[in-house]
Protein backbone atom coordinates (compact mmCIF):
# COMPACT_ATOMS: atom_id res chain seq x y z
CA UNK A 1 0.00 0.00 0.00
CA UNK A 2 0.99 3.65 -0.40
CA UNK A 3 2.44 5.51 2.55
CA UNK A 4 -0.79 7.50 2.77
CA UNK A 5 -4.12 5.93 1.92
CA UNK A 6 -7.77 5.59 2.96
CA UNK A 7 -9.22 2.20 3.85
CA UNK A 8 -12.93 1.51 4.30
CA UNK A 9 -14.71 -1.41 5.97
CA UNK A 10 -18.39 -2.15 6.35
CA UNK A 11 -20.60 -3.90 8.86
CA UNK A 12 -24.30 -4.72 8.98
CA UNK A 13 -26.84 -5.22 11.75
CA UNK A 14 -28.24 -8.59 12.73
CA UNK A 15 -31.36 -7.73 10.73
CA UNK A 16 -29.54 -7.53 7.41
CA UNK A 17 -30.83 -10.43 5.23
CA UNK A 18 -27.37 -11.98 4.80
CA UNK A 19 -26.74 -11.87 8.55
CA UNK A 20 -30.24 -13.19 9.23
CA UNK A 21 -29.30 -16.22 7.12
CA UNK A 22 -26.01 -16.63 8.98
CA UNK A 23 -27.84 -16.59 12.30
CA UNK A 24 -30.42 -19.12 11.19
CA UNK A 25 -27.68 -21.42 9.87
CA UNK A 26 -25.65 -21.16 13.07
CA UNK A 27 -28.77 -21.68 15.18
CA UNK A 28 -29.09 -25.07 13.45
CA UNK A 29 -25.45 -25.83 14.32
CA UNK A 30 -26.09 -24.91 17.97
CA UNK A 31 -29.25 -27.03 18.19
CA UNK A 32 -27.61 -30.12 16.73
CA UNK A 33 -24.31 -29.89 18.64
CA UNK A 34 -26.09 -29.19 21.90
CA UNK A 35 -27.69 -32.62 21.70
CA UNK A 36 -25.01 -34.44 19.72
CA UNK A 37 -21.57 -32.74 19.98
CA UNK A 38 -19.95 -35.24 17.61
CA UNK A 39 -22.39 -34.61 14.80
CA UNK A 40 -21.41 -33.13 11.46
CA UNK A 41 -23.68 -30.49 9.97
CA UNK A 42 -23.61 -28.07 7.06
CA UNK A 43 -26.60 -25.73 6.87
CA UNK A 44 -27.28 -22.94 4.39
CA UNK A 45 -30.16 -20.50 4.19
CA UNK A 46 -31.64 -18.03 1.73
CA UNK A 47 -34.37 -15.45 2.40
CA UNK A 48 -36.55 -13.26 0.22
CA UNK A 49 -40.00 -11.71 0.46
CA UNK A 50 -42.17 -13.99 2.62
CA UNK A 51 -39.95 -17.04 2.15
CA UNK A 52 -37.06 -18.83 3.84
CA UNK A 53 -35.20 -21.67 2.13
CA UNK A 54 -33.09 -24.03 4.22
CA UNK A 55 -30.70 -26.68 2.90
CA UNK A 56 -28.98 -28.86 5.49
CA UNK A 57 -26.89 -32.03 5.58
CA UNK A 58 -26.20 -33.74 8.89
CA UNK A 59 -25.20 -37.15 10.22
CA UNK A 60 -27.11 -37.25 13.48
CA UNK A 61 -30.27 -39.15 14.28
CA UNK A 62 -31.64 -36.43 16.54
CA UNK A 63 -34.88 -34.72 15.60
CA UNK A 64 -34.66 -30.99 14.83
CA UNK A 65 -37.62 -28.83 13.87
CA UNK A 66 -35.75 -26.77 11.29
CA UNK A 67 -38.71 -24.49 10.38
CA UNK A 68 -39.39 -23.68 14.01
CA UNK A 69 -35.73 -22.84 14.69
CA UNK A 70 -35.75 -20.49 11.70
CA UNK A 71 -38.94 -18.80 12.88
CA UNK A 72 -37.49 -18.31 16.38
CA UNK A 73 -34.49 -16.47 14.96
CA UNK A 74 -36.64 -14.28 12.70
CA UNK A 75 -38.85 -13.33 15.63
CA UNK A 76 -35.92 -12.58 17.94
CA UNK A 77 -34.25 -10.39 15.30
CA UNK A 78 -37.43 -8.34 15.18
CA UNK A 79 -39.15 -8.81 11.84
CA UNK A 80 -42.89 -8.18 12.23
CA UNK A 81 -43.95 -6.57 8.93
CA UNK A 82 -46.66 -8.21 6.80
CA UNK A 83 -44.12 -8.73 4.00
CA UNK A 84 -41.79 -10.78 6.22
CA UNK A 85 -42.36 -12.11 9.71
CA UNK A 86 -41.89 -15.31 11.71
CA UNK A 87 -45.55 -16.34 11.71
CA UNK A 88 -46.51 -16.01 8.06
CA UNK A 89 -43.32 -16.58 6.07
CA UNK A 90 -43.03 -19.88 4.22
CA UNK A 91 -40.13 -22.09 5.30
CA UNK A 92 -39.03 -24.51 2.59
CA UNK A 93 -36.51 -27.18 3.58
CA UNK A 94 -34.22 -29.56 1.74
CA UNK A 95 -32.79 -31.87 4.39
CA UNK A 96 -30.50 -34.84 4.02
CA UNK A 97 -29.59 -37.10 6.90
CA UNK A 98 -26.33 -38.90 6.17
CA UNK A 99 -25.06 -42.13 7.71
CA UNK A 100 -22.60 -41.45 10.55
CA UNK A 101 -18.98 -42.35 9.87
CA UNK A 102 -17.44 -44.30 12.75
CA UNK A 103 -14.02 -42.72 12.19
CA UNK A 104 -15.40 -39.22 12.68
CA UNK A 105 -17.37 -39.92 15.86
CA UNK A 106 -14.37 -39.36 18.11
CA UNK A 107 -14.16 -37.51 21.42
CA UNK A 108 -11.10 -35.29 21.19
CA UNK A 109 -11.20 -34.54 24.93
CA UNK A 110 -9.88 -38.01 25.75
CA UNK A 111 -7.54 -38.61 22.81
CA UNK A 112 -3.80 -39.16 22.94
CA UNK A 113 -1.41 -37.18 20.77
CA UNK A 114 -1.12 -40.11 18.37
CA UNK A 115 -4.89 -40.38 18.07
CA UNK A 116 -5.17 -36.65 17.42
CA UNK A 117 -2.64 -37.08 14.61
CA UNK A 118 -4.88 -39.61 12.90
CA UNK A 119 -7.72 -37.09 12.52
CA UNK A 120 -7.07 -35.51 9.14
CA UNK A 121 -8.49 -32.51 7.33
CA UNK A 122 -11.63 -33.45 5.43
CA UNK A 123 -11.45 -30.54 3.00
CA UNK A 124 -8.76 -28.40 1.38
CA UNK A 125 -8.55 -24.80 2.49
CA UNK A 126 -6.14 -21.96 3.12
CA UNK A 127 -7.18 -19.83 6.09
CA UNK A 128 -5.84 -16.52 7.38
CA UNK A 129 -5.60 -14.96 10.79
CA UNK A 130 -4.69 -11.35 11.45
CA UNK A 131 -3.99 -9.06 14.39
CA UNK A 132 -2.59 -5.56 14.85
CA UNK A 133 -2.16 -2.84 17.46
CA UNK A 134 -4.71 -0.42 16.01
CA UNK A 135 -7.42 -1.22 18.59
CA UNK A 136 -7.71 -2.81 22.08
CA UNK A 137 -9.12 -5.93 20.40
CA UNK A 138 -6.07 -6.20 18.11
CA UNK A 139 -8.33 -5.53 15.12
CA UNK A 140 -8.05 -3.09 12.18
CA UNK A 141 -9.66 0.23 13.08
CA UNK A 142 -12.12 0.46 10.12
CA UNK A 143 -13.94 -2.82 10.84
CA UNK A 144 -13.76 -2.18 14.60
CA UNK A 145 -15.58 1.14 14.19
CA UNK A 146 -18.03 -0.20 11.60
CA UNK A 147 -19.04 -2.96 14.05
CA UNK A 148 -19.44 -0.43 16.85
CA UNK A 149 -21.78 1.65 14.72
CA UNK A 150 -23.81 -1.41 13.69
CA UNK A 151 -24.15 -2.65 17.26
CA UNK A 152 -25.17 0.80 18.44
CA UNK A 153 -27.74 1.03 15.64
CA UNK A 154 -29.33 -2.18 16.90
CA UNK A 155 -29.05 -1.10 20.54
CA UNK A 156 -30.98 2.15 20.12
CA UNK A 157 -33.73 0.23 18.35
CA UNK A 158 -34.05 -2.50 20.99
CA UNK A 159 -33.87 -0.02 23.88
CA UNK A 160 -36.59 2.12 22.26
CA UNK A 161 -34.31 5.13 22.01
CA UNK A 162 -35.26 5.19 18.32
CA UNK A 163 -38.22 2.78 18.24
CA UNK A 164 -39.12 3.63 14.65
CA UNK A 165 -36.01 1.87 13.30
CA UNK A 166 -36.37 -1.50 11.55
CA UNK A 167 -33.88 -4.38 12.08
CA UNK A 168 -32.00 -3.87 8.80
CA UNK A 169 -29.00 -1.54 8.76
CA UNK A 170 -25.57 -0.99 7.20
CA UNK A 171 -22.52 0.95 8.34
CA UNK A 172 -19.16 1.91 6.84
CA UNK A 173 -16.11 3.73 8.17
CA UNK A 174 -13.20 5.12 6.19
CA UNK A 175 -9.89 5.62 7.98
CA UNK A 176 -6.97 7.62 6.61
CA UNK A 177 -3.60 5.98 7.19
CA UNK A 178 -0.09 7.37 7.21
CA UNK A 179 2.54 4.67 7.06
CA UNK A 180 -0.05 1.98 7.96
CA UNK A 181 -0.96 3.92 11.13
CA UNK A 182 -4.49 5.39 11.47
CA UNK A 183 -4.32 9.19 11.40
CA UNK A 184 -7.91 10.44 11.01
CA UNK A 185 -11.51 9.43 10.30
CA UNK A 186 -12.13 10.11 6.64
CA UNK A 187 -15.82 9.12 6.54
CA UNK A 188 -18.66 7.53 8.50
CA UNK A 189 -21.77 6.13 6.83
CA UNK A 190 -25.04 4.72 8.15
CA UNK A 191 -28.01 3.39 6.22
CA UNK A 192 -30.88 2.54 8.55
CA UNK A 193 -34.26 1.08 7.64
CA UNK A 194 -37.38 2.53 9.25
CA UNK A 195 -40.69 0.94 10.22
CA UNK A 196 -42.73 4.08 9.52
CA UNK A 197 -43.06 6.11 6.36
CA UNK A 198 -43.84 9.30 8.25
CA UNK A 199 -40.26 9.72 9.44
CA UNK A 200 -38.53 12.62 7.72
CA UNK A 201 -34.98 12.36 6.44
CA UNK A 202 -33.95 15.42 8.44
CA UNK A 203 -35.24 13.91 11.70
CA UNK A 204 -33.60 10.56 10.92
CA UNK A 205 -30.24 12.15 10.22
CA UNK A 206 -30.41 14.22 13.38
CA UNK A 207 -31.42 11.23 15.52
CA UNK A 208 -28.73 8.90 14.17
CA UNK A 209 -26.02 11.52 14.56
CA UNK A 210 -27.02 12.20 18.15
CA UNK A 211 -27.88 8.65 19.28
CA UNK A 212 -25.45 6.55 17.25
CA UNK A 213 -22.47 8.30 15.69
CA UNK A 214 -21.56 10.71 18.49
CA UNK A 215 -21.74 8.09 21.32
CA UNK A 216 -19.71 5.56 19.29
CA UNK A 217 -16.84 7.96 18.73
CA UNK A 218 -17.00 9.59 22.15
CA UNK A 219 -14.46 7.19 23.71
CA UNK A 220 -12.33 6.64 20.60
CA UNK A 221 -8.82 8.15 20.28
CA UNK A 222 -9.64 9.13 16.68
CA UNK A 223 -12.88 11.06 16.19
CA UNK A 224 -14.52 12.75 13.22
CA UNK A 225 -13.09 16.18 12.48
CA UNK A 226 -14.35 19.12 10.43
CA UNK A 227 -13.27 17.44 7.21
CA UNK A 228 -14.83 14.04 7.99
CA UNK A 229 -17.61 13.21 5.57
CA UNK A 230 -20.71 11.85 7.31
CA UNK A 231 -23.42 10.15 5.25
CA UNK A 232 -26.73 9.14 6.81
CA UNK A 233 -29.27 7.52 4.47
CA UNK A 234 -27.78 9.49 1.60
CA UNK A 235 -30.33 7.96 -0.81
CA UNK A 236 -33.28 8.95 1.37
CA UNK A 237 -35.64 7.08 3.68
CA UNK A 238 -35.16 3.29 3.52
CA UNK A 239 -38.59 1.97 4.46
CA UNK A 240 -38.96 -1.57 5.79
CA UNK A 241 -35.68 -3.08 4.66
CA UNK A 242 -34.97 -6.74 5.20
CA UNK A 243 -35.83 -9.73 2.98
CA UNK A 244 -38.89 -7.94 1.59
CA UNK A 245 -36.52 -5.44 -0.06
CA UNK A 246 -33.32 -7.40 -0.75
CA UNK A 247 -32.57 -11.11 -0.49
CA UNK A 248 -30.08 -12.78 1.83
CA UNK A 249 -27.74 -15.77 1.71
CA UNK A 250 -25.54 -17.60 4.21
CA UNK A 251 -21.83 -16.86 3.93
CA UNK A 252 -22.00 -13.73 1.83
CA UNK A 253 -20.43 -11.42 4.42
CA UNK A 254 -17.05 -13.07 5.00
CA UNK A 255 -15.18 -9.77 5.24
CA UNK A 256 -17.57 -8.57 7.95
CA UNK A 257 -17.05 -11.85 9.81
CA UNK A 258 -13.28 -11.35 9.79
CA UNK A 259 -11.11 -8.28 9.17
CA UNK A 260 -13.11 -5.97 6.93
CA UNK A 261 -10.78 -6.93 4.03
CA UNK A 262 -7.85 -5.15 5.69
CA UNK A 263 -6.38 -8.64 5.80
CA UNK A 264 -7.07 -11.66 3.62
CA UNK A 265 -9.67 -14.31 4.43
CA UNK A 266 -10.18 -17.73 2.90
CA UNK A 267 -13.43 -16.92 1.10
CA UNK A 268 -15.11 -19.92 2.71
CA UNK A 269 -18.21 -19.22 4.77
CA UNK A 270 -17.79 -19.58 8.53
CA UNK A 271 -21.45 -19.80 9.56
CA UNK A 272 -23.55 -22.93 9.12
CA UNK A 273 -20.73 -25.45 9.64
CA UNK A 274 -19.86 -27.55 12.63
CA UNK A 275 -16.31 -26.85 13.88
CA UNK A 276 -14.87 -30.15 12.64
CA UNK A 277 -14.70 -28.34 9.31
CA UNK A 278 -11.16 -27.00 9.18
CA UNK A 279 -12.26 -24.00 7.11
CA UNK A 280 -14.08 -22.79 10.23
CA UNK A 281 -11.92 -23.96 13.12
CA UNK A 282 -8.70 -23.23 11.21
CA UNK A 283 -9.72 -19.58 10.78
CA UNK A 284 -10.08 -19.32 14.56
CA UNK A 285 -6.72 -21.00 15.14
CA UNK A 286 -5.00 -18.64 12.70
CA UNK A 287 -6.48 -15.60 14.47
CA UNK A 288 -5.33 -17.05 17.81
CA UNK A 289 -1.78 -17.40 16.51
CA UNK A 290 -1.64 -13.93 14.96
CA UNK A 291 -3.04 -12.25 18.07
CA UNK A 292 -0.48 -13.96 20.30
CA UNK A 293 2.34 -12.85 18.00
CA UNK A 294 1.28 -9.22 18.32
CA UNK A 295 0.59 -9.54 22.06
CA UNK A 296 4.12 -10.90 22.48
CA UNK A 297 5.51 -7.73 20.93
CA UNK A 298 7.05 -9.61 18.02
CA UNK A 299 5.22 -7.39 15.50
CA UNK A 300 2.79 -4.48 15.33
CA UNK A 301 0.71 -6.41 12.82
CA UNK A 302 0.75 -10.03 11.78
CA UNK A 303 -1.03 -12.20 9.23
CA UNK A 304 -0.82 -15.98 9.68
CA UNK A 305 -1.57 -18.32 6.77
CA UNK A 306 -2.45 -21.98 7.33
CA UNK A 307 -2.89 -24.23 4.31
CA UNK A 308 -4.54 -27.64 4.73
CA UNK A 309 -4.69 -30.61 2.38
CA UNK A 310 -7.31 -33.37 2.42
CA UNK A 311 -6.01 -36.48 4.14
CA UNK A 312 -3.34 -34.78 6.26
CA UNK A 313 -3.56 -33.59 9.85
CA UNK A 314 -0.75 -31.04 9.92
CA UNK A 315 -1.10 -27.93 7.75
CA UNK A 316 1.13 -28.25 4.70
CA UNK A 317 2.14 -24.61 5.02
CA UNK A 318 2.47 -22.11 7.86
CA UNK A 319 3.43 -18.64 6.70
CA UNK A 320 3.76 -15.34 8.52
CA UNK A 321 3.69 -11.79 7.16
CA UNK A 322 4.40 -8.85 9.47
CA UNK A 323 4.53 -6.12 6.81
CA UNK A 324 7.89 -4.82 7.98
CA UNK A 325 6.79 -4.37 11.61
CA UNK A 326 8.43 -7.51 13.07
CA UNK A 327 11.12 -7.32 15.72
CA UNK A 328 12.46 -10.65 14.40
CA UNK A 329 12.18 -12.19 10.95
CA UNK A 330 8.90 -13.59 9.66
CA UNK A 331 10.57 -16.99 9.25
CA UNK A 332 11.61 -16.99 12.90
CA UNK A 333 8.06 -16.17 13.97
CA UNK A 334 6.76 -19.00 11.78
CA UNK A 335 9.22 -21.40 13.43
CA UNK A 336 8.02 -20.32 16.88
CA UNK A 337 4.41 -20.89 15.88
CA UNK A 338 5.25 -24.42 14.77
CA UNK A 339 6.92 -25.11 18.13
CA UNK A 340 4.22 -23.70 20.39
CA UNK A 341 0.92 -24.15 18.50
CA UNK A 342 -0.87 -27.32 17.43
CA UNK A 343 -2.83 -26.63 14.25
CA UNK A 344 -4.11 -30.18 13.69
CA UNK A 345 -7.93 -30.33 13.35
CA UNK A 346 -8.62 -32.45 16.46
CA UNK A 347 -6.11 -30.43 18.49
CA UNK A 348 -7.94 -27.20 17.64
CA UNK A 349 -11.28 -28.77 18.59
CA UNK A 350 -9.78 -29.94 21.90
CA UNK A 351 -8.05 -26.71 22.86
CA UNK A 352 -11.02 -24.45 22.12
CA UNK A 353 -13.69 -27.02 23.17
CA UNK A 354 -15.49 -26.08 19.97
CA UNK A 355 -17.97 -28.96 19.78
CA UNK A 356 -19.18 -28.56 23.36
CA UNK A 357 -19.56 -24.78 23.63
CA UNK A 358 -23.19 -24.80 22.36
CA UNK A 359 -24.20 -26.90 25.39
CA UNK A 360 -22.21 -24.71 27.80
CA UNK A 361 -23.12 -21.22 26.61
CA UNK A 362 -26.70 -20.30 27.44
CA UNK A 363 -28.76 -19.42 24.39
CA UNK A 364 -26.31 -21.04 21.97
CA UNK A 365 -22.77 -20.20 21.00
CA UNK A 366 -22.33 -20.09 17.22
CA UNK A 367 -25.39 -17.97 16.55
CA UNK A 368 -23.83 -15.24 18.70
CA UNK A 369 -20.86 -15.22 16.32
CA UNK A 370 -23.04 -14.83 13.24
CA UNK A 371 -23.40 -11.04 13.59
CA UNK A 372 -20.82 -8.33 14.39
CA UNK A 373 -17.77 -10.47 13.68
CA UNK A 374 -16.42 -13.92 14.52
CA UNK A 375 -13.02 -12.58 15.59
CA UNK A 376 -12.01 -9.59 17.69
CA UNK A 377 -15.07 -9.82 19.92
CA UNK A 378 -14.70 -8.32 23.39
CA UNK A 379 -18.31 -8.98 24.41
CA UNK A 380 -17.90 -12.79 24.32
CA UNK A 381 -15.21 -14.87 26.00
CA UNK A 382 -13.90 -16.49 22.83
CA UNK A 383 -11.13 -19.06 23.36
CA UNK A 384 -9.24 -17.93 20.25
CA UNK A 385 -9.05 -14.36 21.57
CA UNK A 386 -6.89 -15.16 24.60
CA UNK A 387 -3.17 -14.33 24.55
CA UNK A 388 -1.96 -17.13 26.82
CA UNK A 389 0.93 -18.10 24.54
CA UNK A 390 2.42 -14.65 24.13
CA UNK A 391 5.11 -15.29 26.75
CA UNK A 392 6.13 -18.57 25.07
CA UNK A 393 6.46 -16.86 21.70
CA UNK A 394 8.44 -14.01 23.23
CA UNK A 395 10.92 -16.37 24.87
CA UNK A 396 11.39 -18.32 21.66
User: Taking the domains of the chain in order of start, what are their residue ranges?
Assistant: 4-12+140-240, 17-100, 125-134+251-395
Give the end-to-end CA distance of the chain in Å, rounded to a whole number.
31
**pLDDT exceeds cutoff 70 at 176:** yes
**What mean pLDDT is predicted for residues 57-66?**
89
pLDDT for position 353:
97
The arithmetic mean of pLDDT across residues 18-26, rounded, is 98
Using an 8 Å Cβ cutoff, are 276 and 38 in contact?
no
Evaluate if residue 1 carries a pLDDT over 70.
Answer: no
**pLDDT score of 380 more than 70:** yes
**The CATH number of domain 17-100, selected from 3.40.1360.10, 3.30.300.10, 3.30.110.30, 2.70.98.10:** 3.30.300.10
Beta carbons within 10 angstroms of residue 195's beta carbon: 17
Q: What is the pLDDT, as a whole number, of residue 61?
A: 79
Using the predicted structure, report yes or no on whether residue 104 has a pLDDT greater than 90.
no
Who's near 227: CB < 8 A, 6+ residues apart? 184
CB count in 10 Å sphere of residue 315: 24
Does residue 350 register a pLDDT over 70?
yes
Model pTM score: 0.96
pLDDT at 365 over 70: yes
* Residue 129: per-residue pLDDT: 98
Q: What percent of the chain has pLDDT over 90?
A: 92
When pLDDT is cut at 50, 70 and 90, the band that residue 100 belongs to is: confident
pLDDT at residue 56 greater than cutoff 70: yes
- Per-residue pLDDT band at 126 (split at 50, 70, 90): very high
Average pLDDT, the chain: 96
Give the model's pLDDT for residue 96: 94
Helices (H), the chain: 17-35, 66-77, 113-117, 141-158, 201-208, 214-218, 254-257, 278-295, 330-340, 345-352, 357-360, 366-369, 390-395
CATH class label, 4-12+140-240: alpha beta
Contacts of 269 (CB under 8 A, 6+ apart): 44, 250, 251, 252, 254
Q: At residue 342, does pLDDT exceed 90?
A: yes
CATH architecture under which domain 125-134+251-395 falls: 2-Layer Sandwich (3.30)
What confidence tens digit (pLDDT) does each residue in 179-238 have?
A: 899 999 999 999 999 998 888 999 999 999 999 999 999 999 999 999 999 999 999 999
Sign of CA dihedral 299, 3, 257, 124: negative
Same fold for the domain at 4-12+140-240 and the one at 17-100? yes
Amino acid sequence: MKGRFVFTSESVTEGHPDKLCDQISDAFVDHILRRDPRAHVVAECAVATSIVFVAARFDSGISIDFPNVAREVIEQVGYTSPQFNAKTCSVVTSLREMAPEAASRFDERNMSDAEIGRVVARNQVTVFGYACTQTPAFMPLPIWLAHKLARRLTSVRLQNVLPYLAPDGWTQVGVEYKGRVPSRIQSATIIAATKVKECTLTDLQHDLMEAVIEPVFADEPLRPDKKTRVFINSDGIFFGGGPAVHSGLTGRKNAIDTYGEYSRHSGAALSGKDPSRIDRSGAYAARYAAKNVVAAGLAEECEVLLSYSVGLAEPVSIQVQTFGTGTISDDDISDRLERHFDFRPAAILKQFNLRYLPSIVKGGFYRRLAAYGQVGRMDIGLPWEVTDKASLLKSG
